A and B are shown apart, each in its own frame.
Chain A
Amino acid sequence: MEHIELFFKSIFIDNMVFATFLGMCSYLAVSKKVSTAVGLGAAVIFVLAVTVPVNWLLDQYLLQPGALGTWLGDEYADYDLSFLSFIMFIATIATMVQLVEIIVEKFAPALYNSLGIFLPLIAVNCAILGGSLFMQSREIPTLGLSLTYGIGSGIGWFLAILAIAAIREKIRYSSVPPALRGLGITFIITGLMAIGFMSFGGMLTGGEEPADDKKETKAKVEVIQKKELEKELANNTKKITE
């Protein structure tokens, strides 16, 4: 359940482009044609899905305060290497991108031809480093969830660049004021799209917080409903597996 929640949250509510403005540079530079936008978007999903879990492992077993103590013994328990996280994360990302490039070239030449030119660009895409840094600052608890978070944010970025590329292809035929053409209108459209995406904000919280006196009873009802839902889900999955 929490996987699904985090997945949709990272696609729509915390969308990389519209909520946190990460990866704007390549978002603006490579969104002139839909086909190239799809290539870059796919590469971003791929790299985020690899780097976020790897950086989660690094963060958990190397960088966090006391992390070394968990596997090297108590004498290392006082070490706090968290100031190294920027350099570790970016080094991991740069090497992972190289590795991914080599592996894809060897085993999937067709994919390499379509992604190839975008992969090196990705090492300096803020969305990738941002994914790892947000993973760290939001304290995502398990490896599985960090994978979900990586894939979800990648898909969110993919959707954003696909949408803006499609709009930019169409807008060429409309009469935009000359001074706004190109970059200016793209900024304003992105702003409007971001306002649109803000409407997803209430999706998980369910809108307004209930008033104080109703809060408790409502919470109780919700817990009961949640339990029932979980039972139902469990039954359904049983049926499906059978």
Chain B
Amino acid sequence: MGLLSKKDAALITDPLADNNPITIQVLGICSALAITAELKASIVMSISVLFVLGIGNVVISLLRNIIPSKIRIIVQLIVVAALVIIVDLVLKAFAYELSKTLSVFVGLIITNCIIMGRFEAFALGNGPWKSFLDGIGNALGYGVILIAVGFFRELLGSGTLLGFKVLGDPIEKTGLYAIGYENNGFMLLSPMALIVVGIIIWIQRTKNPALIED
């Protein structure tokens, strides 16, 4: 790593596994669950959060010595809200159908706890470059889980990935469907998102017993 020192690289890689914002820090669950019935929506959501968290962390970090600590929450909310409005307008302009599926959940990025959590825990105490890396790292960690959940829910629920029929056609009975495979429509319903995340947490903690709670 020529560009990044070891410490800086850890800022990006830590949140991907051992300090994952969703499975370990328990931040940003709300949106993670509601929009993961399709892989495409999960990917778009991850990119939106990447944008908001990366830029937001830099802005807050630059402002950190000017913001009076009493009103910092309102200042943070305004910064995030401005960034989210940009994301929302871009989505409406270039991916209108998708912005309809995401509905209010784009707006809910504002109160996504990951963003406030990283502002409070990191950007308020560190320089802009480090905060940027931290923001990118955490957004990637969030995206990894989101995409994993979206992948399994779309694959098992409707037999497609990004809209492509990877398991064959359920009506014409080709591919896996020829030997009697059925889609599990239950995977598309919201409760299954919780259970899938629960299983991901289970697997992660079995692999790394240091993370087990007492």
Which residues of A line the B interface, CB within 8 A?
Answer: 18-25, 28-29, 83-87, 89-91, 94-95, 120, 123-126, 128-130, 133-134, 137, 177-185, 187-188, 190-192, 194-195, 198
Contacts and interface: CB of A to CB of B under 8 A. Distances in A.
Given A94-B77, A126-B108, A183-B213, A86 B84 contact: yes
Interface string B112-134: 11001000000000000000000
A23 B113 CA distance: 9
Main secondary structure of the interface of B (DSSP, over half): helix
A185 B198 contact: yes
Contact of B191 (A123, A182, A192): A192
B191 A191 contact: yes
A181 to B, nearest CB: 5
B55 to A, nearest CB: 16
Contacts of A22: 30, 108
9 contacts: A21-B193, A86-B85, A90-B77, A90-B78, A124-B77, A124-B113, A181-B213, A185-B198, A195-B191
Contacts of B197: 187
Interface residues of B, number: 46
Given A86-B81, A179-B205, A179-B209, A25 B198 contact: no
A130 B108 CA distance: 7
B192 interface: yes
Given A83-B85, A91-B74, A198 B191 contact: yes
A123 B73 contact: yes
A193 to B, nearest CB: 8
Given A21-B29, A179-B206, A198 B198 contact: no
A177 B202 CA distance: 9
B190 interface: yes
A21 B192 CA distance: 12
Contacts of A18: 190-191
Interface stretch (B9-17, B20-28, B136-144, B158-166): B20-28
B189 interface: yes
Contact of A129 (B88, B110, B193): B110
Contacts of A128: 111
A187 B194 contact: yes
B29 A28 contact: yes
Contacts of A125: 111
B89 interface: yes
B146 interface: no
Nearest to A136: B104
A25 B29 contact: yes
A87 B81 contact: yes
B98 interface: no
A123 B77 CA distance: 9
Contacts of B67: none
B34 interface: yes
